[in-house]
Amino acid sequence: MAKAPPPFPDRHLPDVPVEKIPASIGIIMDGNGRWARRLGWERIKGHTAGIDSVRDTARAAAELGVKELTLYAFSVENWKRPRAEVTYLMRLLRRFAVDERPEIERNGIQFRTLGRIDDLPDSTRNELRESERLSVDNDGMVLRLALNYGGRTELADAARHLAEEAVAGRLDPASIDEAALAGALYDPSMRDVDLVIRTASEMRISNFLLWQISYAELVVTDVLWPEFRRENLFAAIREYAGRERRFGGLVTG
């Protein structure tokens, strides 16, 4: 009798037990500019090339059973880049939102954004919102783009929201605890991140998901984002699976 195909995790990572696959991964995609400059091209070409990396990584993560993949695509600080680069990135994001809809649908992915989306150019924001709307009922992996996102801004926005609720008499300040603050973040359903991957060697968090990465494991690779492929994701997950996570406690046994 023909053997049933193994589930996805076995197919990709036979050496990693299913329970060691991180449920939530965040990626700081870095090195687009350096990759393009190395080839003698304009920096912005690196951003375009980075889309192939997003596609391959998201597909592989979904196949592995990762529940949430959050990509740092544009920070609140990125507005300081040259105007032409910002404009290019906004167009690229709009195109990404439109072009990836069939792939998102095929894989049952829930597409979401995280950040101050209302401040993006109208056409970019509208296409991103449309992709969110179209995929809202999908039940596969959540693919989240952090856009016009800053961890400190998110925490300040959450604090302001709680303060407004308190002033309006809807919230007792004494009841504000970690759960209340987590519930006031941009996406209250977002789970804690298990693994943060940063490409292009930099050992920094750069204001990415400050609340949600409190106990995340960090893996930094020297691979530049446009060269990042599923094999690099698998290598990071292998490294993660070999770590001992203690969450501030002790490991017994």
* Piece of 14-22, 24-32, 166-174, 179-187 that binds ligand FPP (CB under 6 A): 24-32
Q: Does 92 bind ligand FPP (CB under 6 A)?
A: yes
For residue 140, the SS3 value is: coil
Q: Does 30 bind ligand FPP (CB under 6 A)?
A: yes
Q: What is the smallest separation between the CB atom of 103 and ligand FPP, expressed in angstroms?
A: 12
| The two structure tokens encoding residue 100 | 């990836």
Q: Does 196 bind ligand FPP (CB under 6 A)?
A: no
Pick from 22, 26, 31, 150: which binds ligand FPP (CB under 6 A)?
31
Q: Does 127 bind ligand FPP (CB under 6 A)?
A: no
Which residue's Cβ lies closest to ligand FPP?
A: 33
Residue environment code for 58-67, b if the CB has 16+ CB neighbours within 10 A, otherwise e: bbbbbbbbbb
Task: Provide φ and ψ at 202, rounded to 5°.
Answer: -70, 135
* Piece of 62-70, 85-93, 150-158, 189-197 that binds ligand FPP (CB under 6 A): 85-93
Q: How many residues does the chain have?
A: 253
Compute the distance between CA of residue 193 and CA of residue 217 in angstroms, rounded to an integer: 9
Pick from 8, 20, 41, 51: which binds ligand FPP (CB under 6 A)?
51
Task: Provide φ and ψ at 145, rounded to 5°.
Answer: -105, 120
Cβ–Cβ under 8 Å, residues 144 and 191:
no
Among residues 10, 32, 56, 78, the one annotated as catalytic is 78
Residue 30 annotated as catalytic: yes
Residue 78 annotated as catalytic: yes
Compute the distance between CA of residue 157 and CA of residue 98 in angstroms, rounded to an integer: 29
Tokens 């699976």 sit on residue: 241
Q: Footprint of ligand FPP on this chain (CB under 6 A)? A: 29-34, 43, 47, 50-51, 54, 71, 73, 78, 89, 92-93, 96, 145, 200
Q: Active-site positions? A: 30, 78
